[in-house]
Amino acid sequence: MTDLVFREIKGLPVRAMLVFLYSISDKNIINQYLIKPLSNISDTKSFSIEQLVEKNITVANYTIHNSIDKMFGAIMKGQSVLIIDGLNRGYAFNTEKYPKRQEGEPTTETVIKGPKIGFIEDINTNIGLVRSICRDPNLKFEKTQIGRRTKTDVVICYIAGVTNSDYIEEMKNRLSKIDTDGIIDSEELAEYLKDSIWSPFPQVSASERLDSFVSGLLDGRVGILTGSTPFSLIVPCSLHILLSSPEDFYENWIISSIIRLTRYIALLLSMTLPAAYVSLISFNVALLPRELVFTIGTTRSEVPFPSFIEVLLMELGVEFLHEASVRLPRGVGQTVGVVGGLILGDAAVRAGVVSPGMVIVIALTAISSFIIPSYSLSLASRVVRIPLMIISTIYGIYGLVMGMILIFIHLVSLTSFSENYLTPWGEYGEDSFKNTFFRMPVSVAKKRPKELRPEDSIRQKNTDNWRDWW
């Protein structure tokens, strides 16, 4: 290894060697608190080697390892190991210093109001960020390593006395069963935590926002922090969590409720609007107003393709533009998305390839998918859209209804950590509905979600009579 350093210590009465990786170790700590104190020891006769090391080194954390494998593992994590001739153990000092970027605003979950800080790729920094907001002594972090080669640090986060112990044990059990070469990103880890790997809908909530993560812990959920990635995981996950935004609680509750309701409408439109358009103009024209039928018929009179091919071509065009805007540099990508959409849409209509109505439908569908806060849920809605279009092309509006029923059956049967994906709807009474479709005032939400079965269900003890209107 080009960055592996063997530094011999001259100040001890016996041969000693300090071994560390230069690229991921803090050179200042090594020089000032390890090499310099050991090299300047004056009295080496009154104390044993162990006493000399423990007396002169002031590094806060060190561990004694009795095997070569553990010593090498410590070195690979950025620790410095002191090996002394004649001793069957080594001293591993915490000198790790990984390259990392500064904390900043999350790039995937931007908000107008609220905290502007998110997680980064350093797990110790992320733990500190969580503690900076939640200073409860019951906040627990349990670290483990996953991956035979990457040895990725994974931290289980929860609040003891709030989070149901069944979730904690289940999380530990699922993580202990993972046996792989390595975990690079938290989404890879999420694949192992899903109840159903065949569902397109996300069953683990992923976020790089600090406030979203802490809010989940306060509700009684279990969080996961993964080394080398800024995205945290929260379980159990449900549909209404994926349609909620942290900004909901930073704005007036009436306004937030209206905005949240529009997200549910946007999810429905994102999945069904193209299929509904195809079924209405191909099979169920009688359901449309006469004037609208004449308008659509006039604009489609020169289009050479059936409605299904027309919508499929437009969907492919939108997906191409979306992928191009994501892969290109930020400034160029935004230009490609806006200009490409305008030019292609106008050119397609002028060439008679698609009708103006189809352009409007696809544009509304794309905008609806962008409204969904969870990117994974947005992708799932795009995946579901194609089968609904196919079945609507064959059976019309009845096919669309049948497809929606099948999707609903799938969502009802879906679980996340054994909790129903559609909770709390239909299970836990009116208290659980206070923060689902609508965001109720903070003073009203006095209890944690019942579906999580928290050990401490009381969120706040304010019992002012004028607030007890719900």
Predicted local distance difference test score (pLDDT) of residue 428: 56
Task: Indicate whether 333 pLDDT > 90.
Answer: no
The whole-angstrom separation of Cα 57 and Cα 52 is 8
Domain positions in the chain: 4-93, 123-237, 249-419
What one-character-per-residue DSSP string does 114-179 give? S---B--S-HHHHHHHHHHH---TTEEEEEEEE-TTT-EEEEEEEETTTS-HHHHHHHHHHHHT--
Average pLDDT over the chain reads 84
Res 466: pLDDT: 45
Each residue of 163-198: pLDDT tens digit? 999 999 999 999 999 999 989 889 899 999 999 889
Residue 193: per-residue pLDDT:
93
Mean pLDDT computed over 261-266: 92
The mean pLDDT of 57-84, rounded to a whole number, is 84
Please report which confidence band the pLDDT of residue 288 belongs to, taking 50, 70 and 90 as the band edges: confident
417 phi-psi bin (left φ>0, alpha ψ -120 to 50, beta other): left
392 burial type by CB count under 10 A (0-12 exposed, 13-18 middle, 19+ buried): buried
Residues 6+ positions from 170 with CB-CB distance below 8 Å: 417, 418
How high is the pLDDT of residue 308?
87
Q: What is the pLDDT of residue 334?
A: 64
Tens-digit pLDDT profile for residues 414-465: 999 988 898 877 565 555 566 777 788 877 778 888 888 898 888 887 655 4
- The span from the first CA to the last CA of the chain, in angstroms, equals 66
Encode pLDDT of 136-156 as tens digits. Answer: 889 999 999 999 888 899 999
Least confident piece of the model among 296-305, 373-382, 429-438: 429-438
Cis preceding linkage at 424, omega within 30: yes
